[in-house]
């Protein structure tokens, strides 16, 4: 974390504790929304194709921290967070016809990752 603390960040970057608080709120929402859709897929109520954006999103989300803080690769982290953002949008669109509440439940996740993407882009640019 010392490495990250030394990076140039925009003045609007949230303080470090905000990230833990936000993610502790978002992860249960994500689990419920995606879990419900996966349950419906398992029952055969909705198309299996809905797994594609969900699994890609989860994989990219889980990959971000090791890329950013393990590899310390800002550019790869930038690509990864764009994939996270794109797969949230894809998930919401794909899920909407089958479960509007599950799609809408992902809205806070979308908002936060949009902010996080802007932050990552700023950090990547400032530390090029």
DSSP state letter for 7: S
Average pLDDT over residues 43-52: 98
Average pLDDT over residues 23-34: 98
Residue 116 pLDDT > 80: yes
Half-sphere exposure of residue 34, counting CA atoms within 13 Å on the CB side? 20
Round to whole Å and give the CA distance between 6 and 66: 18
Domain boundaries, the chain: 17-126
Whole-model pTM: value is 0.95
How sure is the predictor about 1, in pLDDT bands with cuts at 50, 70 and 90?
low
Question: What does pLDDT average to over the chain?
Answer: 97
pLDDT digits (tens, 9 = 90+) for 65-106: 999 999 999 999 999 999 999 999 999 999 999 999 999 999
Lowest mean pLDDT among 16-20, 22-26, 55-59, 78-82: 16-20
């Amino acid at each position: 974390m010392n490495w990250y603390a030394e990076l140039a960040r925009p003045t609007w970057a949230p303080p470090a504790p905000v990230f833990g608080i936000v993610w502790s709120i978002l992860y249960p929402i994500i689990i419920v929304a995606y879990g419900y859709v996966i349950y419906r897929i398992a029952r055969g109520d909705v198309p299996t194709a809905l797994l594609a954006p969900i699994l890609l999103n989860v994989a990219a989300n889980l990959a971000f921290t090791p890329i950013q803080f393990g590899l310390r690769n800002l550019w790869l982290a930038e690509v990864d967070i764009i994939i996270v953002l794109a797969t949230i949008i894809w998930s919401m669109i794909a899920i909407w016809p089958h479960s509007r509440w599950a799609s809408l439940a992902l809205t806070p996740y979308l908002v936060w990752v949009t902010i996080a993407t802007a932050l990552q882009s700023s950090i990547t640019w400032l530390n090029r």
